[in-house]
Amino acid sequence: MINMKQAKPLLGTVITLEIVDNTADQQALDKVFSYFNYVEERFSVFKPESEISLINQNKIKSENYSADMKTVFRLAEQTKEETCGYFNIRANDGKINPSGLVKGWAIYGAAKLLDELGFKNFYVNGGGDIETRGKNNEGRPWSVGIENPFNREQIIKVVYLSNLGIATSGNYLRGQHIYDPFERQKEITEIVSLSVIGPNVYEADRFATAAFAMGKRGIEFIAGLPGFEGYLIDATGQATFTGGFEKYLTE
């Protein structure tokens, strides 16, 4: 079985692909990285010529938004409704920043591209937000480490996933970049990390972002979502997890 793995800096993080398949080749990896390049050029708020930046500069009218931009805006509005307003892509400065949804959406899109190419065993990792398919090169579920937010060299839990997604939200790595939209001036300090396992990384990512904005109540929100499990670490280092989370701790 051929095992191909490659990583590149994209979307403000490192994108890592690993394919375990006899037909895996560099062309397949290149297609996926080209897709991520496309997403970055369209959605990066750090690129002044990206579509989202031009929208924030009022240089593109809504009727001229790209199909993918319209899709992301629609999904963001749907998520806002499903989270009682805790997911909101309008930043404190009034500009639109869909990053809390786009990364998971893009990783899931990359996985669907690999599905279409016929691959059955792979993972796509974007800075710890991961979509898994099938098994690893040892024929086992993919193992994913949840890092200690107080010591990133330490893994505190390992979960085993196949055909599922996981995403982690937190302020410990990038500082305060997730806010409670109802108290925008108040920093979230009572929790530091919230990892969510869901049916795919897009779903896990969007709900992890919203749940983190809820503070300690976020783990209760995740517990109420069918098909989702969560693992929260508060500012004292105390962990709280949902009822079905432990089933992912064994292969």
Helix axes 67-82, 99-116, angle to 10 degrees: 120
Determine the pLDDT at residue 172: 64
SS3 state at 99: helix
Alpha helices in the chain (DSSP H): 26-43, 51-56, 67-82, 99-116, 201-213, 218-223
Residues paired with residue 123 on neighbouring β-strands, in sequence order: 18, 132
The domains found in the chain, sorted by start residue, are: 3-249 (3.10.520.10)
User: pTM of the prediction?
Assistant: 0.95
> What amino acid occupies position 57?
Q
Determine the pLDDT at residue 173: 60
DSSP of 127-147, one letter per residue?
TTEEEEES--TTSSPEEEEEE
According to DSSP, the β-strands at 229-234 and 239-241 are antiparallel
* 77/90 Cα distance (integer angstroms): 11
Residues of the chain predicted below pLDDT 70: 172-177
Average pLDDT along the chain: 94
* 34/56 Cα distance (integer angstroms): 25
